[in-house]
Amino acid sequence: MIKLSDIDTHAPKNLSKHSIKAEVKVLAKKIGELQQVMYAQKKHSLLVVLQGMDASGKDGATKHVFQDCNPSGIDAYSFKKPTELEFAHDFLWRCHARAPQKGNIMVFVRSHYEDILIQKVHNWIDSDRRAKRMAAINSFEELLEFDNNTAVLKFYLHISPERQLEKLQERIDRPEKNWKHNPADWEERKLWPEYMKAYEYAINQSSIPWNIVPADQRWYRNYFVAKKVLETLQSMNLQLPHIEDLSKGNG
């Protein structure tokens, strides 16, 4: 069983920030090259799920890891409060519609897990409903992998409350970051222990394992995510299709 308080939020001490930042650029270039092959082959897809407390760096990780990807074959979607139409459907309806088609990468900045995280923390759903939703999430992710050759890669960006406080305060103190400021983030911060319990439940009940990313230092967070994404793409044995492959169709 994973307990988040037992996992360090900092980068390993023996690493060089300068070297790791340079390595991220190399990894991002390789990710871009393989993404282009996957887009051409149209046999596989990749769903990247980024979850974490406010200011943990979900947008920043997306920007750096996928900086060299062809925009034609990658999308990112940030899940906000459900619309009236989305509320009228089951909680996975809006997520399934955003799942990546073959050949594409989709990044979920927040995701279907919001419906068992914030909703349970605020007691909008009870434990029985959360358990049923968790079972549905596992089935949803397994369906994507089994039925559409979609690799599901999940990251929890593990930031400390001290580092989060610094990042939230930056949004007030630095004019160029004022647009990120949301008073609600400060209110949610007060519920930190409840959120940690909710995340531990989601992580430990998942069929497809999570990657716990030390996120206090942006350079290491980006490196960790980029390395896992590249390893996943490399494991797909992606190959550019030839004329005879195209004439047969990609099925």
What tens digit of pLDDT does each residue of 32-79 get? 999 999 999 999 999 999 999 999 999 999 999 999 999 999 999 999
pLDDT of residue 243: 77
Q: Return the bridge partners of 210, or none.
A: 154
Query: If you average pLDDT over every residue of the chain, what do you get?
Result: 95
Q: Please give the pLDDT value at position 244.
A: 72
Q: Which two tokens stand for residue 160?
A: 């400390």
Q: Residue 45 gets which letter from DSSP?
A: E
> Residue 58 has what pLDDT?
97
The alpha-helical segments, DSSP class H, found in the chain are 17-41, 58-65, 84-87, 93-96, 114-121, 127-148, 161-173, 183-189, 192-205, 218-235, 243-248
Decide if 175 contacts 169 (C-beta within 8 A): no
The per-residue pLDDT for range 93-148, each reduced to its tens digit, is 999 999 999 999 999 999 999 999 999 999 999 999 999 999 999 999 999 999 99
Residue 249 has pLDDT above 60, yes or no: no
Q: What is the pLDDT of residue 242?
A: 86
Architecture per CATH, domain 17-236, reads as 3-Layer(aba) Sandwich (3.40)
Phi/psi at 88 (5° precision): -80, -5
Over range 167-185, report the average pLDDT. Answer: 94
**pLDDT (0 to 100) of residue 29:** 98
